[in-house]
C-alpha cells in the first residue's frame, strides 16, 4: 500500500555505470548468544556491520532490510549460522554478494595456575564473512598476554622488563574448531598467559614462569605459527603480536601472514568507524 | 665497545625457518612539518609505525634503530621524502623490505561561502609506504561532509534528514598531487561541504545548497569515483563514505575500490593499536 | 598456610602518613544481568572499576579481593544490589569507603512510530556508587537523539540542518525508578527520537516531526530539566546535550546541573583509561 | 545589514526561567604554539572546548563567535594567555562566565640515561580554565612510566612483573611553573622513567634501576604527593596512577586529591565526546 503512496527512491535507476562493492549499515550494537565450549552457549554483546554489493543500475540499497535480517537471527551467532545469515541478506536485498562483520567479547572461566581460584577472562573475538559465488569466513581472536624481553634479561644483572601484550590471530579454516583452541595456542606461545585473579602463590608462579620464558614479539608470532601449522586446519592466517613496552611509550609489533588457500581474498578493508577529533 | 660487553640477543640465530613479514615499532607520536599548498609547509603531529621484514635466520630486529631513523628525518614528512626514509630504514636494519605508516591532522584555511569569513578546517591524512624491490605508496585523507537523504526529502512534505559523514579516500598515484585536490573532489561530491565557521548568511546558503543536492552514501562514492577517474593519475583507489545517520544510532556506509595497477599489493593489514576493555 | 610462606607486602606498614582516597582495579569486562522493565532482566556486558580508600598506615591494598567480590555477585547488577556489593567490598578490604563504577549497553525493543515494526535500540548506561558512612549512588544514561537547528530552519527558504546528538543524564534519586523513564524524558525533549529500524512511512513521519520541532542544545537541556524536575524524585542531576553538527566538524554542547541535596558529593573524578597515542 | 534580513533566533527571549551552566563548541582541532622550557616554544595540535554560561532569558548562544575568538588567538596557547582568551570570550558572548579546555601532546627531548642518545618523548597535557568573578585554571599532564611490583619481586625467586603505567597530575598553582617540573616530579616517583630510544647499555641500566625500585600504584601517588607538597606552589591537586598490569587484563589504579584552596571549585564535569557503537 505505502509502496503506491510513497516513492521508492532507492529502486530508481542510476545511469553512471558504477557498481558499488559494499553498501549497508555499520556500527550496530546487538545482544547475542554465542557457542561456548564449557557451557553450551554464552550471552554477550556484538558490534555489527552488514553490507551487500549494488549493481550499477540501482541508485541505492534498502538499509532497513539489513536490520530486519539481524532481528530475525537475533540471539544466535555462530560460525555455522554465518552462511545462513548471509544467504538471507543476499536474498532479501537481491544482491550478488553479502558481507557481515561482528565483534564481541567472549568470556572464559580460567583457574589460577597454583591455587586453582576461578576467574573470568574476556577475549575480543570477531568474524568476517562474505557470500558471493562461494562462502568465505575469517574468524579472529585477540588474546592478552605477558612477554618478558630476552635482551633485557640477558644484559641485566637482575630483573628484566616485561609487559602486557595483545596477540591477534585471524584465520580461515577447513573444519569447525573452538575459539578456545586458538586461545590455547596463543597462550602457550608467550612468556606467560594472563589471568583475572591471582593469589600470591599464583603470582609467584607466573612471575617465575615468565622470567624462564623470555620472548620477543618475533618469537611470539613464530611460535604461534608453528603451532597453528601443526593443526593442518587453517589454509590462511595472519598473526599479529603487539607488546605495550614497559620501558617505552610505544609498542613493539610483529606480523606474519601465510596463505595456502587456492582462492583469492574476497574481502576489502572496511575502515573502523571513527568520529570527531581523535588524532 | 659495549658490543663486546653486552650480548646482542637480537642478532643470535633462529632455527625455526620462519621469516617474519613485518616487525618494528608502532604508535609513536612525533611533531612533523608537512607540505602545504597555501603556505609552503605547516606544523602538525604524526602517529607513526615503522617496520621491516626479518629473514628466518635472525632471532630479532633492533628496535632502537627505527627511532634513530625517525630522529634523523624529524620535521620533514612528504610524499617525496617517504622513499628516502624507507631506504634509510631498509639499509640501517639490513632488511629486504621496509614499511612506514603515518597519520596526521592537516589544516586548511577555508572561507565561509557567502561572507568569506575565514575558518580553519582539520582533515585526517595518512600515508602508507613500502619499499622492497620496488617502492609503493598509498596516500589517504578523511573529509568530513554533509549529506541530505534523497529518500527522506522525496517522501516528506517538508524537511529531510541530514547528517555529518566522513569520506575516506586512499589512492596510489602516478605523479605528484596536492592533498587539497582530493579534498576538493570529495567536497564537490556531497550534499554540502563542512566549515568551521559560518555566519547566518552562510548557514542559510549551506542549508539550501544541501537540500538542493540530496545524496545517498551510494551517490557520494560514485560521484567521487567519477571525478577521481577523470584525473587519470590514480591507478588504484578505495573510496569509503560513512554517514552518521541522524535518525538512527548506526551509520550508513558504502565502499568502492578500483585497481588498474599492474602490480600486486605489497601491503598487509596492520590492526590499529587497541588497549584494554573499553566497552 | 601460604600466608606463612609468602610474605604479604601489601600489609606492611607505611610511614609517610598519606592516606589514599581510592585504590583498586579498573577496566574489567564482565558479563552481567540487569533488570529490564519489559522482560524482567536482560543479559549484557559491563565494564567495571572497583576501589577502596586506604588508611595512611598500610602500604597497599589486596587487588585480588576485588575480583573475588565481582565473582561472587557475577550476573546480578542493579540499583538495589549496588549497596550490598559495596558493603561486601568494604568489609573484605577492611576499608572505610568503597567505590564501584559500571558501564554497560542496555537494550530496549522499540516500535517504529507508524508501521510499528520492531527494532532494538542500544543505550549506554552507567552507575557510580560510593559507600562510606552513608551510601551514595549516581545513575546515568546516554540517549542518542535527532535535533533540527531552529536558526537554520528560520533563515532558510527550505530545509534545515539536523544531526544526531547524544544526551547524557546523570542523577541521584530518592526512590527506585526505571532507566526507561529517563530515556522517555530525554526522547520527548528533542526534535525526534532515534530508531534502529524505520520503514518509509516511519521515515516520513520522523522527518516531518523533527522539522516541526526544531531545537538547539540549549532547548534540549532546558526541556529535559523541566521534565525531570516534575518527577520530584531527583535531588541532583547533570544533563549534557552534544550534537554532532552536520554543517561543522565539531559539536555543539550544553550542560545544566542542579543540586538540591543536603549532602556534599563524595565522588572524585576518575579519568577514563586511555592508552598510547590517542591525542 | 544581514541582521535586518536574517532573523537572530538565538537572541529571542526564553520564558522557561532556566539558566544554562555551559553552552558552546566542543571537539575543535587547532594547530597551536605552546611555551617550551628548552626552545622557547614548540608547535603542536590542540583539541578545544569553549563554553559560556547563558542567562535564563536568552534562547541560545552564538556558536560562531567561539570560533572567531579561537581564530584571533590562533597559534598562542599558554597559562598566561588563558585568562585573556576567556575575557575575550566572556565579552564577545556577553556572558557571566566563560570556560575553555584544551588538550595537546607536548614533546620533550630526552637523553638515554647511559649513552646520552637523544630521543623525543610525548606527554599529553591539558588546561581547563574558567572565568566568572574570578579566574580559575587547572593544568594537567599525563606521564608514561614503568612500575615493578614489590609483591611479585618479594615472593619470587627471580624476576618481578612490571609494566607501563600512566600518571596523571592536575593542579591549581600560585605562581608560574614549567610543565617539565611536574614531569620530573612524576618521573622521580616511579620505578623507572620511560624513554623513546634506549641502546643496550641504557636498557640494562633501566631494567636494573626499576628492579631496585619496586613500587605499587599506592607508592607512586604517595611519592608524587610528597614531592608536590614540598614545592609549596599548588593549593589543589589530584594525582592518579594507572598501571596496565602485565599479568592481568585490567589496570591497577590509585587516586589522591588534596585541596588547600579557600575557594570552591567552579568546574563541572564535561563528559568527553563519544560517538556511536564502539563495543
In a structure prediction context, what are the per-residue pLDDT tens digits for chain C, which is 279 residues long? 344 567 888 888 887 789 999 999 999 999 999 999 988 999 999 999 999 999 888 888 899 999 999 999 876 788 888 999 999 999 999 999 999 999 999 999 999 999 999 999 999 999 999 999 999 999 999 999 999 999 999 999 999 999 999 999 999 999 999 999 999 999 999 999 999 999 999 999 999 999 999 999 999 999 999 999 999 999 999 999 999 999 999 999 999 998 877 665 556 677 777 654 333
pLDDT the model gives residue A1: 39
CA of B206 vs chain A CAs: smallest distance (Å): 20
pLDDT band at B271 (very low <50, low <70, confident <90, very high): confident
pLDDT the model gives residue D2: 44
pLDDT the model gives residue C2: 44
D234 vs A55: which has the higher pLDDT: D234
CA distance D158 to D250: 24
C105: chain A residues, CB-CB within 8 Å: 29, 45
B9: chain A residues, CB-CB within 8 Å: 150-151, 154-155
For chain C, list the contacting chains (3+ Cβ pairs, <8 Å): A, B, D
Q: Which residue, among A46, A44, A57, has the nearest Cα to A11 in the 3D structure?
A: A57
**A218 vs B59: CB contact, 8 Å cut-off?**
yes
pLDDT the model gives residue D64: 93
**Which residues, 6+ apart, have CB-to-CB distance to B19 below 8 Å?**
B53, B54, B55, B56
Judge whether D229 is closer than 8 Å to chain B, CB to CB: no
D44: chain B residues, CB-CB within 8 Å: 31, 43, 45
Q: Which residue of D has its CA nearest to A157?
A: D208
How does pLDDT run across D78-108, given as a tens digit for each residue?
888 899 999 999 999 999 999 999 999 999 9
pTM equals 0.94
CA distance C204 to C113: 10
For chain A, list the contacting chains (3+ Cβ pairs, <8 Å): B, C, D
C-alpha cell at C249: 566538524
**C122 vs A29: CB contact, 8 Å cut-off?**
yes
C-alpha cell at C161: 540542518
Contact status, residue D49 vs residue D66, Cβ threshold 8 Å: no
pLDDT of D29 strictly over 60: yes
Q: Which residue, among C19, D110, D80, C208, has the nearest Cα to A247 in the 3D structure?
A: D110
Contact status, residue C105 vs residue C47, Cβ threshold 8 Å: no
CA distance D254 to D215: 12
pLDDT the model gives residue B267: 61
**A256 vs B51: CB contact, 8 Å cut-off?**
no
Collapsed DSSP state (helix, strand, coil) of residue D86? helix
List, in sequence order, the alpha helices (H) in B146-249: 150-155, 179-187, 200-212, 217-231
Task: Extract the runs of DSSP E, i.e. beta strands, from chain B.
Answer: 20-36, 40-54, 98-111, 118-131, 135-148, 162-172, 192-193, 236-243, 251-259
Judge whether B271 is closer than 8 Å to chain D, CB to CB: no
pLDDT the model gives residue B230: 94
**Looking at the DSSP assignment, which residues form a beta bridge with residue B26?**
A251, B49
pLDDT of D1 strictly over 80: no
Domains and CATH numbers, chain D: 20-267 (3.10.270.10)
Beta strands C162-172 and C118-131: pairing type? unpaired
Maximum Cα interatomic distance, chain A, rounded to a whole number of Å = 82
Altogether, the residues listed in chain A come to a count of 279
Nearest to A27 among B27, B47, B250 (CB): B250
B56 vs B145: which has the higher pLDDT: B145
pLDDT the model gives residue B131: 95
**C164 vs B245: CB contact, 8 Å cut-off?**
yes
Q: Which residue of A has its CA nearest to B16?
A: A222
pLDDT the model gives residue A268: 65
pLDDT, tens digit only, all 279 positions of chain A: 344 567 888 888 887 789 999 999 999 999 999 999 988 999 999 999 999 999 888 888 999 999 999 999 876 788 888 999 999 999 999 999 999 999 999 999 999 999 999 999 999 999 999 999 999 999 999 999 999 999 999 999 999 999 999 999 999 999 999 999 999 999 999 999 999 999 999 999 999 999 999 999 999 999 999 999 999 999 999 999 999 999 999 999 999 998 877 665 556 677 777 654 333
Judge whether C271 is closer than 8 Å to chain B, CB to CB: no
Judge whether A154 is closer than 8 Å to chain D, CB to CB: no
What ipTM, to 2 d.p.? 0.91
C-alpha cell at A115: 591455587
pLDDT the model gives residue D5: 64
Residue B110's alpha-carbon distances to B107, B114, B162, in angstroms, are: 9, 12, 22
**D163 vs A164: CB contact, 8 Å cut-off?**
yes
Amino acid at each position: 500500500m505505502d509502496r503506491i503512496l510513497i516513492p521508492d527512491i532507492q529502486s530508481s535507476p542510476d545511469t553512471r555505470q558504477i557498481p558499488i562493492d559494499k553498501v549497508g549499515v555499520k556500527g550496530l550494537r546487538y545482544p547475542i548468544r554465542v557457542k561456548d565450549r564449557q557451557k553450551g552457549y554464552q550471552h554477550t554483546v556484538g558490534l555489527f556491520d552488514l553490507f551487500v554489493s549494488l549493481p550499477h543500475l540501482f541508485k541505492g540499497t534498502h538499509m532497513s532490510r539489513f536490520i530486519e535480517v539481524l532481528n530475525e537471527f537475533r540471539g544466535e551467532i555462530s560460525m555455522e549460522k554465518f552462511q545462513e545469515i548471509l544467504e538471507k541478506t543476499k536474498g532479501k536485498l537481491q544482491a550478488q554478494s553479502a558481507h557481515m562483520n561482528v565483534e564481541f567479547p567472549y568470556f572464559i572461566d580460567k583457574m589460577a595456575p597454583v591455587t586453582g581460584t576461578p576467574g573470568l577472562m574476556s577475549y575480543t573475538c570477531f568474524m568476517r564473512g562474505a557470500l558471493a559465488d562461494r562462502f568465505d569466513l575469517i574468524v579472529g581472536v585477540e588474546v592478552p598476554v605477558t612477554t618478558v624481553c630476552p635482551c633485557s634479561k640477558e644484559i641485566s644483572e637482575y630483573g628484566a622488563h616485561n609487559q602486557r601484550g595483545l596477540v591477534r590471530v585471524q584465520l580461515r579454516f577447513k573444519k569447525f574448531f573452538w575459539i578456545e583452541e586458538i586461545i590455547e595456542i596463543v597462550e602457550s606461545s608467550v612468556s606467560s598467559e594472563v589471568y583475572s585473579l591471582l593469589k600470591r602463590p599464583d603470582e609467584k608462579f607466573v612471575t617465575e614462569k615468565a622470567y624462564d620464558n623470555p620472548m620477543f614479539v618475533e618469537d611470539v608470532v613464530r611460535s604461534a605459527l608453528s603451532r597453528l601449522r601443526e593443526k593442518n586446519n587453517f589454509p590462511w592466517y595472519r598473526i599479529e603480536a603487539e607488546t605495550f613496552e614497559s620501558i617505552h611509550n610505544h609498542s613493539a609489533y610483529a606480523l606474519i601472514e601465510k596463505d595456502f588457500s587456492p582462492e583469492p581474498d574476497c574481502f576489502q578493508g572496511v575502515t573502523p568507524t571513527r568520529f570527531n577529533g581523535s588524532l
